[in-house]
Amino acid sequence: MYNKTIKELAQGLRSGEYSSVELTRHFLARIKQYQHLNAYITVTEERAVRAAEAADARIADGDATLLTGIPIAQKDIFCTLGVKTSCGSKMLDNFIAPYNATVVEKLDQAGAVMLGKLNMDEFAMGSSNENSYYGAVKNPWNTDAVPGGSSGGSAVAVAAGLAVCATGTDTGGSIRQPAAFCGITGLKPTYGRVSRYGMIAYASSLDQGGPMARSAEDAAVLLQVMAGFDDKDSTSVEYPVPDYSAELNKPLAGLKIGLPTEFFGDGLSANIAADLDNARNEYRRLGAEIIELSMPTLKLAIPAYYVIASAECSSNLSRFDGVRYGYRCANPADLTDLYIRSRGEAFGKEVKRRILMGTYALSAGYYDAYYLKAQKIRRLISDDFKSALSKVDVIMSPVTPTNAFGIGEKTADPIQMYLEDLYTIAINLAGLPAMSIPAGFSADKNGSPAMPVGLQIIGNYFAEARLLNIAHQYQQITDWHTRIPDGFE
Ligand code: GLN
């Protein structure tokens, strides 16, 4: 049951083949069975069974949506009323959210059954899911490898069949990179498409929530509910939400695909380059035309991002001071001691590193040299995309430079870790939508196991329906997205 599409499951629920309570219990049992993957921080069993009972009643009444009764899971960055919302941090280990994020509210109202809250890098900072206070998450394709981050729990839950689909968030690649490492489909929407209300902030001008699912078809169903204007989020955009499933079957003849040469050069593993060559040929067979492009500012994305994201995080995370929010140290001597020890004891190493970098970049003497310069580069990168997207319909690239790497392999070297986001970060700086879809399966080192490879498809602002169409057409002629890791059948 766990590897059916949302539409198939919705059909099974309506025909009475199984109830939502049965489906939910099936997933809850799998979560227990595969607990060693560490995908969940909190399993909300009782809440899930109650939601499933309500969904069954709603289906019987004929008032159901496609998601009614479907077991899903939320990244632990989304506030859930009455449920622990930790953001992967000791700082919020005891935080019970007093309200629902808009995304949670919408999915609840659609009748989706939340199974629990998914593991993630602390405050969404990371590319391997090794920065969680709750421990590293394991990749079901090879449990010695990382699942990617920061939405690693979400990617693993979907890949291992511990939820039908899941929510993720993406500030610099956190939906797409773990989707690529785990062989699933992820979509980072246009900035402003999905409400950030109740989504704990990392870097507010870059953060965006989106769907993670087994296929583009399922991602379309999930995005349909997540997307839309929200007057509780001042950066949410008032722009009509199209029917994301309506254009899935549109033929691709005449589609112009741009390939930035900068994204296929040094640094890309040979196996990924070869898999993406094959993907490009499949697209040719579907009628697309491939056009090479040059986007010279892409190489500036990582340094600009790490200045901007760190600057915003140092400001966003100042609220976790042991008074307004978060963990409080025992027996503080005075107020300064309370601040210092509460933050010192409850933030992890990577979060502290980012706060320090961000505070430095924003300080009076350095603001112009770092922050202002990074913002100027951000504009150049947006302009580069604008000019590229005036020549082609979409841009394709790798998602990651390498396959999923070993747990512990890159933790000692933050720069190596930051380079994992080489191909995803520029898209967030420009605010564009992009998807990661499974496009191969190969080993990048002699003797290491074959692992999933992702293809990135980048579109113009609000072109999510087009991206889903382009992904779905590929998934009609390939089977990468249907593969299941050994032992998880
Ligand atoms: N790996 C990037 C970072 O650590 C992106 C994380 C994300 O998208 N949340 O900032």
Q: Summarize pLDDT for 308-357 with one digit per residue, the tens.
A: 999 999 999 999 999 999 999 999 999 999 999 999 999 999 999 999 99
Q: Give the pLDDT confidence score for residue 416 in this predicted structure.
A: 87
413: tokens are 């070297």
Q: Give the pLDDT confidence score for residue 378 in this predicted structure.
A: 98
Is 152:121 a contact under the CB 8 Å cutoff? yes
Taking the CA of residue 173 as reference, the ligand 1 atom at the shortest distance is 8
| 195 inside domain | yes
171 Cβ contact partners less than 8 Å away, ≥ 6 residues apart:
124, 150, 202, 203, 206, 207, 208, 309, 428
Taking the CA of residue 309 as reference, the ligand 1 atom at the shortest distance is 10
Q: Summarize pLDDT for 61-89 with one digit per residue, the tens.
A: 999 999 999 999 999 999 999 999 999 99
Q: Summarize pLDDT for 472-487 with one digit per residue, the tens.
A: 999 999 999 999 999 9
What share of the chain has pLDDT > 90, as a percent? 95
| 223 inside domain | yes
Closest C-alpha residue for ligand 1 atom 10: 125
User: Where residue 166 sits, what CATH number does that domain have?
Assistant: 3.90.1300.10
Q: Give the β-pairing of 451-458 and 40-43.
A: unpaired
Task: Assign 123 a pLDDT band (cuts: 50, 70, 90).
Answer: very high
What does the pLDDT average to over 256-270?
Answer: 94
Domain around 93: 6-254
Q: Establish whether residue 421 lines the binding site of ligand 1, counting it when its CB lies within 6 angstroms of any ligand atom.
A: yes
Structural domain count of the chain? 1
Using the mean position of ligand 1's atoms as its centre, give its distance from the Cα of residue 406 in Å: 18
| 442 inside domain | no
Q: Among the listed ranges 131-140, 188-197, 438-447, which one has the minimum average pLDDT value?
A: 438-447
* Residue count of the chain: 489
Q: Which position has the higher pLDDT, 91 or 421?
A: 91
The rounded distance, in Å, linking the Cα atoms of 47 and 213 is 22
Is 216:471 a contact under the CB 8 Å cutoff? yes
State the burial class of residue 411 (Cβ atoms within 10 Å of its Cβ: 0-12, 13-18, 19+). Answer: middle
| 81 inside domain | yes
Taking the CA of residue 420 as reference, the ligand 1 atom at the shortest distance is 1
Average model confidence (pLDDT) for the chain?
97
| 276 inside domain | no
The rounded distance, in Å, linking the Cα atoms of 70 and 214 is 14
What does the pLDDT average to over 374-390?
Answer: 98
Task: Assign 364 a pLDDT band (cuts: 50, 70, 90).
Answer: confident
Task: Assign 448 a pLDDT band (cuts: 50, 70, 90).
Answer: confident
Q: Establish whether residue 300 lines the binding site of ligand 1, counting it when its CB lies within 6 angstroms of any ligand atom.
A: no
Is 157:186 a contact under the CB 8 Å cutoff? no
Taking the CA of residue 206 as reference, the ligand 1 atom at the shortest distance is 8
- 1 has pLDDT over 80: no
Q: Establish whether residue 150 lines the binding site of ligand 1, counting it when its CB lies within 6 angstroms of any ligand atom.
A: yes
- Tokens 């196991």 sit on residue: 449
| 363 inside domain | no
- 2 has pLDDT over 80: no
Is 132:122 a contact under the CB 8 Å cutoff? yes
| 173 inside domain | yes
| 86 inside domain | yes
Q: Closest Cα to residue 301, out of 413, 390, 421, 127? A: 421
Taking the CA of residue 421 as reference, the ligand 1 atom at the shortest distance is 1
The rounded distance, in Å, linking the Cα atoms of 305 and 428 is 9
Using the mean position of ligand 1's atoms as its centre, give its distance from the Cα of residue 150 in Å: 6
Using the mean position of ligand 1's atoms as its centre, give its distance from the Cα of residue 307 in Å: 12
Q: Establish whether residue 20 lines the binding site of ligand 1, counting it when its CB lies within 6 angstroms of any ligand atom.
A: no
Q: Establish whether residue 233 lines the binding site of ligand 1, counting it when its CB lies within 6 angstroms of any ligand atom.
A: no
Q: Establish whether residue 219 lines the binding site of ligand 1, counting it when its CB lies within 6 angstroms of any ligand atom.
A: no
The rounded distance, in Å, linking the Cα atoms of 242 and 228 is 10
Using the mean position of ligand 1's atoms as its centre, give its distance from the Cα of residue 30 in Å: 29
The rounded distance, in Å, linking the Cα atoms of 186 and 475 is 13
What does the pLDDT average to over 348-376?
Answer: 94
422: tokens are 């080489």
Q: Establish whether residue 124 lines the binding site of ligand 1, counting it when its CB lies within 6 angstroms of any ligand atom.
A: yes
Q: Closest Cα to residue 350, out of 97, 93, 96, 136? A: 136
Using the mean position of ligand 1's atoms as its centre, give its distance from the Cα of residue 205 in Å: 13
Q: Residue 327: how many CA atoms within 13 Å on its side-chain side? A: 19
**In 317-454, which ranges are continuous DSSP H helix?**
335-346, 349-362, 373-388, 414-419, 425-430
What does the pLDDT average to over 16-38?
Answer: 98
Q: Give the pLDDT confidence score for residue 266 in this predicted structure.
A: 87
Q: Closest Cα to residue 308, out of 192, 202, 188? A: 202
Q: Establish whether residue 310 lines the binding site of ligand 1, counting it when its CB lies within 6 angstroms of any ligand atom.
A: no
DSSP state of 95: P
0.85 cut: is pTM over it? yes
Provide the annotated active-site residues. 75, 150, 174
Q: Summarize pLDDT for 140-174 with one digit per residue, the tens.
A: 999 999 999 999 999 999 999 999 999 999 999 99
